[in-house]
């Protein structure tokens, strides 16, 4: 419904709004005069009254024409502003909807000017907009999702594969070994009588399976809503158990429930007959000396060291050792990459403490496993069922069996630098 403004209200309007108001008021006035004319005609008003009303209508129509012309001029100014914006529009930018409109207005500039001057006609704009990134709220919503989950670096389990691996369906492994041996063979003259004290005793030893376990409580909703969660949690507990097994086989105390280990049976290095015997010794020389000692302890018959375990730092330094002239010191019986010292393969792993080394004949140890690694899911832990929480558990029962008679097949160097000093020839 039209609302007439006061003089002050009209002056407060912008030029554009004033023109629009005049057009709207003129239409309202014409409507009212036409209604008066209809009423006068129906009531048989005098000819003079009718002519007066018709004259009033004509004046209003003339005023409307002037108001429309003013409005057209104002619209033309607005069009011109849009055209001017085209000059500022960068051709290097992607052409979106606004760019397409400005470009089309620029191409129709002359026709728009004629339209303003002639005050009639029409100009058709054909908009062919190009979609660009700004037309999408967030491109991340439509990103390609790579499969898999990036893993935080984890130490590689390694020591189990160095041993013989076997299975058992019992809690204990028992084995028989010689406890004492007396060898008393003698030379005898002909059929002369002789006495002999040769004797052997045996002992039965046992190894008990111990258990290594890890578990995680996970909301069932999470496992149901996100398909990768189950495999990630399963991998977590699985890997945790394997890493703990690895740690135990090298560093376990051997006191139940910890497992037997290389560290718990290996003898500490002592230079012995190799003291002050090696000129300018290197870590490779030390590995060779320890390997020879192990062979000696096995009467050069029972043991043949096949692995040397080093921290990666020491393994790297071994490859970089040089003489006073800067020449590398790796001898001909060491491979150029330093991973094979004679018959001994060098294995580097962060589990081995820095400046420490283990050397051994790993064929003399067997890892017995009861059923292997198991992974289970359960609701029965505490109030899991009430809270829709599932417990993911991984465990393995196992132990390392190194027979007492084979303990000397393993040797530990607790201080590499001190050992190098001990074998250095003055």
CATH of domain 159-186+196-423: 3.30.2400.10
166 φ, ψ to 5°? Answer: -145, 170
3-state class percentages of the chain: helix first, strand second, coil last, to nearest 5: 45, 20, 35
For the segment 134-144, what is each residue's pLDDT rounded down to a tens digit? 666 777 777 88
Residue 131 pLDDT > 70, yes or no?
A: no
pLDDT for the residue numbered 319: 84
pLDDT for the residue numbered 242: 94
User: Whole-structure pTM over 0.85, yes or no?
Assistant: no
What is the 8-class DSSP label of residue 206?
Answer: E
For the segment 98-122, what is each residue's pLDDT rounded down to a tens digit? 666 666 666 767 776 666 666 666 6
Query: Which candidate, 290, 242, 283, places its Cα nearest to that of 266?
Result: 290
- Of 109-123, 213-227, 262-276, 380-394, least confident by mean pLDDT is 109-123
Average pLDDT over residues 145-157: 90
- Of 220-229, 325-334, 388-397, least confident by mean pLDDT is 325-334
> Where are the chain's structural domains?
7-132, 159-186+196-423
Task: Report the length, in residues, of the chain.
Answer: 426
For the segment 278-325, what is each residue's pLDDT rounded down to a tens digit? 998 999 999 999 999 999 999 999 999 999 999 999 999 888 887 777
pLDDT for the residue numbered 385: 82
Q: Exposure of 255 by Cβ count < 10 A (0-12 exposed, 13-18 middle, 19+ buried)?
A: exposed
Query: Kind of pairing, strands 365-378 and 172-182?
Result: unpaired
CB atoms within 10 A of CB 389: 18
Evaluate whether 425 touches 276 at the Cβ level (below 8 Å): yes
Who wins on pLDDT, 204 or 103?
Answer: 204
Task: Give just the sign of the alpha carbon dihedral 305, 311, 312, 316.
Answer: negative
Average pLDDT over residues 188-193: 93
Joined together, the tokens standing for residue 380 give 């029965």
Angle at 59 between CA 58 and CA 65, to 5 degrees: 90
For the segment 354-401, what is each residue's pLDDT rounded down to a tens digit? 999 999 999 999 999 998 888 888 888 788 888 889 899 999 999 999
- pLDDT bin (cut points 50, 70, 90) of residue 14 is confident
Angle at 246 between CA 305 and CA 403, to 5 degrees: 50
Average pLDDT over residues 197-201: 96
Give yes or no for a cis peptide into 257 (omega within 30° of 0): yes
CB atoms within 10 A of CB 297: 16
pLDDT for the residue numbered 258: 97
CA distance 274 to 263: 23
Who wins on pLDDT, 229 or 82?
Answer: 229
Query: Which candidate, 367, 360, 249, places its Cα nearest to that of 297?
Result: 360
Who wins on pLDDT, 399 or 37?
Answer: 399
Percent of the chain with pLDDT over 90: 48
Mean of the per-residue pLDDT values for the chain? Answer: 83
pLDDT for the residue numbered 8: 83
Query: Which candidate, 160, 150, 151, 152, places its Cα nearest to that of 349?
Result: 160
């Amino acid at each position: 419904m039209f609302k007439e403004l006061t003089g002050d209200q009209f002056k407060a309007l912008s030029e554009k709004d004033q023109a629009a108001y005049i057009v709207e008021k003129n239409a309202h006035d014409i409507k009212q005069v036409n209604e008066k004319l209809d009423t006068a005609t129906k009531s048989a008003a005098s000819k003079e009254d009718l002519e007066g009303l018709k004259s009033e209508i004509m004046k209003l129509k003339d005023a409307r024409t002037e108001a429309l012309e003013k409005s057209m001029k104002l619209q033309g100014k607005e069009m011109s502003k849009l055209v001017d914006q085209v000059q500022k529009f960068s051709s290097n930018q992607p052409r979106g909807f606004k760019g397409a409109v400005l470009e089309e207005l620029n191409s129709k500039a002359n026709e728009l000017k004629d339209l303003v001057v002639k005050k009639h006609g029409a100009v058709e704009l054909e908009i062919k907009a190009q979609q660009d990134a700004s037309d999408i709220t967030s491109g991340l919503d439509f990103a390609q999702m790579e499969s898999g989950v990036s893993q935080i670096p984890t130490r590689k389990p390694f020591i189990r594969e160095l041993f013989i691996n076997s299975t058992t369906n019992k809690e204990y492994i028992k084995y028989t070994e010689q406890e004492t041996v007396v060898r008393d063979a003698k030379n005898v003259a002909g059929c002369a009588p002789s006495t002999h004290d040769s004797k052997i005793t045996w002992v039965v030893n046992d190894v008990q399976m111990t258990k290594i376990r890890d578990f995680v409580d996970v909301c069932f909703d999470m496992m149901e809503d996100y398909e990768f969660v189950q495999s990630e949690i399963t991998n977590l507990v699985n890997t945790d158990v394997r890493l703990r097994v690895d740690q135990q086989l090298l560093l376990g105390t051997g006191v139940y429930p910890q497992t037997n280990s290389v560290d718990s049976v290996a003898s500490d290095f002592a230079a012995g007959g190799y003291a002050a015997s090696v000129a300018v010794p290197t870590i490779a020389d030390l590995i060779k000396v320890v390997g020879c000692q192990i062979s000696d302890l096995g009467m050069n018959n029972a043991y043949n060291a096949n692995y040397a375990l080093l921290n990666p730092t020491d393994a790297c330094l071994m490859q970089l050792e040089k003489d006073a002239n800067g020449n590398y010191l790796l001898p001909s019986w060491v491979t150029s990459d330093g991973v094979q010292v004679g018959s001994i393969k060098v294995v580097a792993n962060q589990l081995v403490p820095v400046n420490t080394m283990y050397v051994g004949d790993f064929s003399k140890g067997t890892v017995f496993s009861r059923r292997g690694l198991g992974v289970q899911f359960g609701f029965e832990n505490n109030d899991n069922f009430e809270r829709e929480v599932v417990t993911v558990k991984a465990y393995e029962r196992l132990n390392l069996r190194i027979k007492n008679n084979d303990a000397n097949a393993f040797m530990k160097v607790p201080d590499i630098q001190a050992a190098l000093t001990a074998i250095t020839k003055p």
